[in-house]
Chain A
Amino acid sequence: GQNIDQPTEMTATEGAIVQINCTYQTSGFNGLFWYQQHAGEAPTFLSYNVLDGLEEKGRFSSFLSRSKGYSYLLLKELQMKDSASYLCAVYGQNFVFGPGTRLSVLP
């Protein structure tokens, strides 16, 4: 089976940096994905890691350690529009999502 854990809520200030952690247990591993979901909308793809290390994509970076079953999403230069839920998803036997982390960006 697969088990994915994320913090439920986080708060940060506009312009700051925030790190959202994700730990997982899975039988089989084909990649780890991060999605952003604004309230009432569908999830949208942010980043993807299949090998250990850091993937950078503009203000967003994602890190993976397969041996530790651990990933994080790093958001830099936070903007108010970054207030959303951030979902960690693992491709093992199938494509399973974590519970999501609700990020609030304050002025």
Chain B
Amino acid sequence: DTGVSQDPRHKITKRGQNVTFRCDPISEHNRLYWYRQTLGQGPEFLTYFQNEAQLEKSRLLSDRFSAERPKGSFSTLEIQRTEQGDSAMYLCASSLDDSEAFFGQGTRLTVV
């Protein structure tokens, strides 16, 4: 297993377009997390899954954001009608229960 992988690594999109990111966690990990990070800030929690169940979603997350983990393995994060303020690094991490989380390299989104 090569760790957590995210695709794409970079995405440039026009304002108003929809984008979808994919995360493949470490195979035996049951928890999967999505974070957003902007320059000089810590990762901001977006949502997390235990297996296929989405257990929590940040109140800061607008209705334009949705995440799925249909079979309890990979996950997708979709942003609809992107805005310039959505430009950030989107990080995915996975863990086995409460143990340390391992991060993917992230998807850098630029909305122009």
Contacts and interface: CB of A to CB of B under 8 A. Distances in A.
A49 to B, nearest CB: 11
Interface residues of A, number: 22
A41 B43 contact: no
B33 interface: yes
A47 to B, nearest CB: 9
Interface in A31-68: 31, 33, 41-45, 48
Interface of A: 30-31, 33, 41-45, 48, 85, 87, 89, 91, 93-100, 102
B98 A91 contact: yes
B41 A31 contact: no
Central interface residue in B41, B93, B100, B103, by most chain A CB within 10 Å:
B100
A99 B48 contact: no
Nearest to B4: A42
B77 interface: no
B42 A98 contact: yes
Interface in B65-112: 91, 93, 95, 98-106
B48 A95 contact: yes
Contacts of B98: 30-31, 91
A97 B38 CA distance: 13
